Amino acid sequence: MTPAPPGPPDPKRTIGGEWIRRPDGFWLAVRPEAIPSAAERMLASGARFAALVATPDAKGNVAMSWHWDAGGTLLTLHTTLASGESAPSIAHVYPGADWAERETHDYYAVTFAGRADTTPLVLRADDPPGILLANPGGAR
């Protein structure tokens, strides 16, 4: 009998680190610069990019989380951006992240380093970003 071909690698293992198990899935705290390479490993494992969540605080810091689905299991990478700090883009790895990054820029003025296209998603081209911040168009 021919053995079954090996399945895709477990992204938790290839990315490494101490994943925290929660009721909604597995979460891992990472540095922002680690996100693109982790995204490449997610793609290699067949994981689907699900969502990007940005949560700003009153000081201009933004808690960011990137979420993937791997066979029904939620895998989340999260970090916090200091005021004015950019997030790395993963749109070159996952085209599906393009709208999520543009929307996050529109809503919370988070910039994504490495993006070729900075066209707003929801706003008009000359609108100031950060429409859901207390001070749209101001410094984050």
Partner 1 sequence: MSYVIPVGPFHVALEEPYKIEVECEGERVIGAALKVGFNFRGIEWLAQHKNMTQSIALLERVCGICSNVHSMSFCMAIEQIGAIEIPPRAKYVRVVLSELERLHSHLLWAGVAAELMGFQTLFMEAFRLRERVMDVLEAISGNRVNYSMNRIGGVNRGVDRPDEVRAGVREVRDVLRRKLIPVFTTDATVAARCRGVGTLTRADAIAYGVVGPVARASGVDVDLRRDATYLAYGDLDFAVPSRPEGDVLARVTVRALELLESCAIIEQALDRMPGGALHVGDVYSVPPGDAVLRIEAPRGEVFYYVASDGSDTLARVKVRTPSFVNIPSVVAMVKGADLADVPLIQAAVDPCYSCTDR
- Please, are residues 30 and 87 in contact by the beta-carbon 8 Å criterion? no
- Please, are residues 17 and 77 in contact by the beta-carbon 8 Å criterion? no
Beta strand 25-29 pairing with 62-70: unpaired
C-alpha–C-alpha distance, residues 15 and 34, integer Å: 9
Which residue, 1 or 26, is less far from partner 1 as judged by CB? 26
Is residue 44 at the binding interface for partner 1, with CB under 8 A as the rule? Answer: no
Residue 4, C-beta contacts closer than 8 angstroms, at least 6 positions apart: none
- The residue length of the chain stands at 140
Is residue 132 at the binding interface for partner 1, with CB under 8 A as the rule? Answer: yes
Q: Considering only residues 19, 49, 66, 112, which one is a binding residue for partner 1 as defined by CB under 8 A?
A: 49
Which residue, 18 or 117, is less far from partner 1 as judged by CB? 117
**Binding window for partner 1 (CB under 8 A); candidates: 12-20, 28-36, 79-87, 116-124:** 116-124
- Site for partner 1, residues 55 to 74, rule: CB under 8 A: 55, 65, 67, 69, 71-74
Is residue 20 at the binding interface for partner 1, with CB under 8 A as the rule? Answer: no
- Residue count, binding to partner 1 (CB under 8 A): 33
